Amino acid sequence: MNRSAMSMRRFCLLAFTFAIWAVSLRAGAVPAVVEKAFSEKYPGATVEDWEVDVNGYWEADFELRGIDHRADFMEDGTWVETERNINFNELPDEVQRAVKLDFGNDEISEIEVVDHPRKGLFYDVEFKRPGKNLDIEYKEDGTRAESLIDELNEPVGSIAAVSKRPEEMGKIELAIEFGFNTLTIFLYAWVIYYRRHHDHKMMFLLLGFNLFLFPIFLLSSSLTAGFGFTIFALLALVRMRSDTFSKTEIAYLLGAVALTFINAILPARVEYISSVIVLVTAYLGDHPRIWRDAYHTVAIRYRTKDVGTMLNQEHLRARISEDFKVEVNDIDIERIDKNEVRLVVLYRDLPDVRKARREEAKKRLRRFRRRRQMAEEEQAKNGEPASNSSDATEPGPAGGGSTTQG
């Protein structure tokens, strides 16, 4: 018992000694450039303690004019921010009203006054939440302080720094909203979809879905993306009672839903980037030149009298490849009838055909460039200025044009 007590005392003594050594080492390890930066920033302030916070900054606890402050500095002496704790009653009246309007009587965990080199002076109000608490930054006039996320979340109609609701926008700002949405859906429905698939009814569906619902989304703050996808689901149910959607049509209709929601609800910088992503995805994902050598899916009824081979996928793959002169990647047997097998075939052209198509496309491109060069030389000989006529359009690939995958 005595030996155990002595061991415990020794352990406590060693732990206490180590703690003192660690504190002294930490205090002595503060870089001179950090101490110099602090002295220049707050001359005459008394530093009570230095420590490294969770972000890796050197944090100085100091007293200035009888009030405790905390200042963060980088390793190279760059000032990050200075903050101090206050009570709710010390907040400006505008900030108090904004907090009550935004969060009612939600429990507040902490309030800090923060001085930031880029944002200036703002108030960080931390609300208690299950798990991680919620931090909201307010300016002195009661508006939300801009952070990196806030800058990305600024609405397109908000030319000023303060976010505006649709009813607060001017005519020019609303024109920007409607104009950008009209431009994106035009590029999406006509330039990308219709010029490839030439289905004017589907193009009208894409345009109508966006242009009919965009004002509702824009002017109603209570609607969310769920409303748009609910309408999409209803359209899908109606279409199932008549003709089924192809995978391509489903993808394009989902894109129209996304553009409607993005342009009406999401903030400006996110709106621009997200709309461009949707347009580029649709342009590349359904581009015939990119996917002309890709595999295609088709449902066929293959007639055969050999009952013993109807379930032999290797045999069927070889026979279909030989009969149709294609490269078969996979088959899916759906149903077997008398002397007939219903299959879904994943296929593409034979390697020789694909190679010949690529060579033909290169030849056409070389002929086009040769004719253009000859025309330019002829114009230069006659002293005529070179012109970019509409008929001098670079040709597409051989066998190109609109393609629709099954």
> Would you list the domain boundaries of the chain?
88-145, 166-286
Is residue 341 within 8 Å of residue 301, measured between CB atoms? yes
Mean pLDDT value across residues 378-393: 62
- φ and ψ of 155, to 5 deg: -65, 155
CATH architecture of 88-145: Roll (3.10)
Mean pLDDT value across residues 301-311: 82
Give CA–CA dist 308/315, Å, rounded: 10
Give CA–CA dist 160/137, Å, rounded: 18
| pLDDT score, position 187 | 93
Q: Which of 157-161, 194-198, 384-388 has the lowest mean pLDDT?
A: 157-161
Angle at 197 between CA 191 and CA 203, to 5 degrees: 60
Residue 126 β-bridge partners:
110, 135
- φ and ψ of 231, to 5 deg: -65, -40
**Longest distance between any two alpha carbons in the chain, whole Å:** 114
Give CA–CA dist 146/150, Å, rounded: 5
Mean pLDDT value across residues 28-35: 84
For residue 52, the tally of other CB atoms under 10 A from its CB is 13
| pLDDT score, position 272 | 82
| pLDDT score, position 24 | 43
Give CA–CA dist 30/220, Å, rounded: 54
| pLDDT score, position 205 | 83
| pLDDT score, position 186 | 93
Mean pLDDT value across residues 309-327: 85
Mean pLDDT value across residues 190-201: 88
Looking at the predicted structure, is the pLDDT value of residue 154 above 80? Answer: no
Residue where the block lists tokens 């193009």: 203
Sheet containing strand 326-337, edge to edge, reads 296-303, 340-349, 326-337
Mean pLDDT value across residues 134-143: 88
SS3 for the chain, per residue? Answer: CHHHHHHHHHHHHHHHHHHHHHHHHHHHCCCHHHHHHHHHHCCCCEEEEEEECCCCCEEEEEEECCEEEEEEECCCCCEEEEEEECCHHHCCHHHHHHHHHHHCCCCEEEEEEEEECCCEEEEEEEECCCCCCEEEEECCCCCECCCHHHHHCCCCCCCCCCCCCHHHCCHHHHHHHHHHHHHHHHHHHHHHHHHHHCCHHHHHHHHHHHHHHHHHHHHCCCCCHHHHHHHHHHHHHHHHCCCCCCHHHHHHHHHHHHHHHHHHCCCHHHHHHHHHHHHHHHHHHCCHHHHCCCCEEEEEEEECCCHHHCCCHHHHHHHHHHHHCEEEEEEEEEEEECCEEEEEEEEEECHHHHHHHHHHHHHHHHHHHHHHHHHHHHHHHCCCCCCCCCCCCCCCCCCCCCCCCC
Residue 110 β-bridge partners:
126
Q: Which of 95-104, 130-139, 146-155 has the lowest mean pLDDT?
A: 146-155
Mean pLDDT value across residues 237-253: 71
Mean pLDDT value across residues 144-161: 47
Mean pLDDT value across residues 55-59: 88
Looking at the predicted structure, is the pLDDT value of residue 233 above 60? Answer: yes
Mean pLDDT value across residues 295-300: 82
Give CA–CA dist 240/249, Å, rounded: 13
| pLDDT score, position 268 | 63
Give CA–CA dist 372/370, Å, rounded: 5
Share of the chain above pLDDT 70, in %: 74
Is residue 245 within 8 Å of residue 279, measured between CB atoms? no
pLDDT category at 319 given cuts 50, 70, 90 is confident
Q: Which of 40, 53, 69 is nearest to 61 (CA)?
A: 69
Token duo for residue 155: 């609405």
Share of the chain above pLDDT 90, in %: 16
Exposure string of 3-42, with b = 16+ CB inside 10 Å and e = fewer, is eeeeeeeeeeeeeeeeeeeeeeeeeeebeeebbebbeeeb
* Verdict on whether the full-model pTM lies above 0.85: no
Residue 68 β-bridge partners:
63
Average pLDDT in the chain: 77
Mean pLDDT value across residues 97-125: 89
Looking at the predicted structure, is the pLDDT value of residue 382 above 70? Answer: yes
